[in-house]
Amino acid sequence: MESSRAIHGGLSLGGTLATMSTLQGDLAEYPLPDLLQFFHATRKNGQLLFEHPQTRKAAGVYFHQGEVVHAFCPPREGEAAIYQLFKWKEGKFAFLKSARAPLRTVNLSLPNLLLEGLRRLDEGSVFDNLPDPATILHIERDSQKIGDVRLTQSEWKLLSLVNGRRTLKEIVELSGRTEHEAAQILYGMLLSGVLTERFDDAFLGVIVMEKIPSEQAPRNRGQPPSILANLIIRECNGVLDLRAIKTKLTCADHDLVEEVRLLLRTYWLRTVRGQDEVRRFF
């Protein structure tokens, strides 16, 4: 899935607006979720204006440094207008650079807007928007990228099946849901950044940890929860970084991160280097 495709030229809304806009196109080619992601990623300021081809109805979304701050789709405003725009499958759009929102009606982060908008769609197929069924999915670990995403119970259950080894097809099959339901949930989590097709383990190369000696640990510290946890503790010597340990133990990214997170919380490990990365990814 291309999360932020390059957007080029295209159709025009016509008239004066065309000369004022810096970007024009059609929703049939660039769906709203892709547009929102693009303007978010490029931290744009301005207004994305839409025109429905049948009704000639106008709608708009305002951005401030890439965040959605106001939207209208008569008679709706705010988040409700965004969710209504999700149902538009066609229509022209134009971006008016630096246009200012007259008021603020949207306070949800973009990942939450995307998730909620997709939850409300009950038609069509999302399979064309998903990666290849053989693609291995990963959980995005960077808290700066996903922010305060709010998942439903169904989404949490599906997320628990993602371990950095299972393919999209395997996750759908294990989900206990219909293919359409599982695909729609996965698409929403991919689009909002909760899931990713590529795991970047660069942060592991920055983090160095060491074992907390028993005399410095709480008296009620329990035993390490697994064989892998014991192996990680043994390798955390204050010199090796986590990526080197992962390579040495030949374990999956997901397994290493989950075990280290638990060992930090149970006072078996402490950070020697990479405190900022630990706060972001653990």
Q: Quickly state the pLDDT bin for 126 (edges 50, 70, 90).
A: low
Q: Where on the phi/psi map is residue 120: left (φ > 0), alpha (ψ -120 to 50), or beta?
A: alpha
| Selection from 184, 42, 27, 64 nearest residue 114 by Cα | 184
Residue with tokens 């339901």: 181
Q: How far is CA 101 from CA 16, 60, 170, in A?
A: 20, 10, 44
For residue 10, how many other CB atoms are within 10 A of its CB? 15
Q: In the chain, where does the domain assigned CATH 1.10.10 lie?
A: 127-196, 201-281
Q: How far is CA 56 from CA 40, 88, 206, 259, 263, in A?
A: 27, 12, 54, 55, 58
> Where does 127-196 sit in CATH, by number?
1.10.10
Residue with tokens 């020697």: 272
* Alpha-carbon span 24 to 139, nearest angstrom: 34
Instruction: Count the neighbouring beta carbons within 10 Å of the beta carbon of residue 219.
Output: 5
The yes-or-no verdict on residue 144 having pLDDT over 90 is no
pLDDT reading at 229 higher than 90 = yes
Predicted pLDDT at 192:
87
CB count, 10 Å around CB of 274? 20
Q: Which two tokens stand for residue 87?
A: 């149902």
Query: Token digits for 217?
Result: 């640990």
DSSP letter at 163 equals: -
Question: What was the pLDDT predicted at 123?
Answer: 57
Lowest average pLDDT, out of 12-16, 49-53, 153-157, 247-251, goes to: 12-16
- Percent of the chain whose pLDDT exceeds 90: 61
Residue 164 CA, chain-centre distance (Å), reads 16
Q: What are phi and psi of 139, to 5 degrees?
A: -85, 130
Among candidate residues 82, 165, 93, the one with its CA nearest the CA of residue 119? 82
Spatial separation of the C-alpha atoms in residues 228 and 268, rounded to whole Å: 13
- Return mean pLDDT, the chain: 87
DSSP strand pairing (46-51 vs 237-241): unpaired
Q: How confident is the model at residue 138 (pLDDT cuts 50, 70, 90)?
A: very high
CATH number belonging to domain 201-281: 1.10.10
Maximum CA pair distance of the chain?
76
For residues 241 and 224, give the distance between their C-alpha atoms in angstroms, rounded to a whole number: 20
**Which of these, 115, 193, 114, 189, lies nearest to 147 by C-alpha position?**
193
Query: 10-67, pLDDT tens digit by residue?
Result: 334 554 455 555 788 899 888 898 899 899 989 999 999 999 888 888 999 999 999 9
